[in-house]
Amino acid sequence: MKNKSKNINGISDILFISIFIVLFITIGFVVTTKSAGEKNMGYNKLTEEEENVIINKGTESPFSGEFNKFYETGTYLCKRCETPLYKSDSKFNSQCGWPSFDDEIPGAVKRIPDKDGSRTEIVCNNCSAHLGHVFLGEQFTEKNTRHCVNSISLKFVSDEETAMKKENPKIETAYFAGGCFWGVEYFLQQEAGVLSTSVGYMGGHKDNPTYAEVCDGPTGHAEVAKVEFDPSIIDYEKLAKLFVEIHDPTQINGQGPDLGRQYRSEIFYSNEKQKKSIEQLIKILKSKGTKIATRSTKADSFWPAENYHQDYYQNNGHQPYCHSRREISWD
């Protein structure tokens, strides 16, 4: 009997271990599959601050958000997945410190009662990004509803931008860095076929850097002008040639009196066609004996600069101090 019991116990131990291994592998597979699935969802990359609100259900400080006192006409999208959530005509000033809407785009927002039963959370119905909370019965508007939303959970697209993209479905984007981005934007935005411009930071290793951080140097970013253009009016090669002509492509880590890696000459290409175009232009310049400092790099995350940097010369009535155009013979 002792031997039989020992055998049974041995078999039981083996069976238990086998079941444990199968469960371990299965759980690991499920977790891995889920993780891979989340990575392939195509969601936007979030900063630590954005994750705190959108993923971890935090709350931004009142009166601090970008869209608290913002009333342009357009559509508010989910910051994480860019699903349209609210139209601007549903936004109103509740003076609560956060953007307020009295209605959502049908089917875009999901309501989830908080565990304590005192409030109702609202999330993006597509990706479950935390938006804020909804309140009823406050009599702010005829709809008697207030979606209290964190600005950081939203992205805004103006009606003008939406119309422009509908009219020009083949809009392309280019990124140029060559000294202070004020001057680069100034010259590029004057070209026919350029639909919009903005300035920001690219090529570094920190998410959502500030101007002060970029100027101090440790983030590795360059000051960049982003250009959206209609290729049926102006092609990428012409834009790239203009960029070369408005700055000194031979100066390393600077332009004129502006010195530092953030002022380096660099073109960030969006596709292989742009890359080949840049390489050809650099080859032409080198054949003329020009020692080119300009680098060609694949574009990565573009982080918009602070509002006061946008359209700087247009808004301030000044002229670029370290950029001027000199035509080059490209033959």
| Residues with catalytic function | 148, 180
What six digits make up the tokens of 33? 């599959």
- Kindly report the CA angle at 269 between 83 and 214, in degrees rounded to 5? 80
CA distance readout (Å), 103 to 44, 84, 141, 250: 25, 13, 10, 55
Distant-in-sequence, close-in-space partners of 26: CB < 8 Å, separation ≥ 6: none
| 8 A C-beta contact, residue 91 and residue 71 | yes
Residue recorded with tokens 């938006």: 131
- Kindly report the CA angle at 304 between 299 and 103, in degrees rounded to 5? 115
What six digits make up the tokens of 129? 């990004």
The Cβ-side half-sphere exposure at 198, using a 13 Å CA radius, reads 11
Which amino acid, 216? D
Q: Quote helix, strand, coil % in the chain, to nearest 5.
A: 35, 25, 45
Q: Distance between CA 162 and CA 303 in Å, rounded?
A: 21
DSSP string covering 142-172, please? TT-EEEEE-GGGEEEEEHHHHHHHHH-TT-E
Distant-in-sequence, close-in-space partners of 100: CB < 8 Å, separation ≥ 6: 91, 92, 93, 94, 140, 146, 147, 148, 149
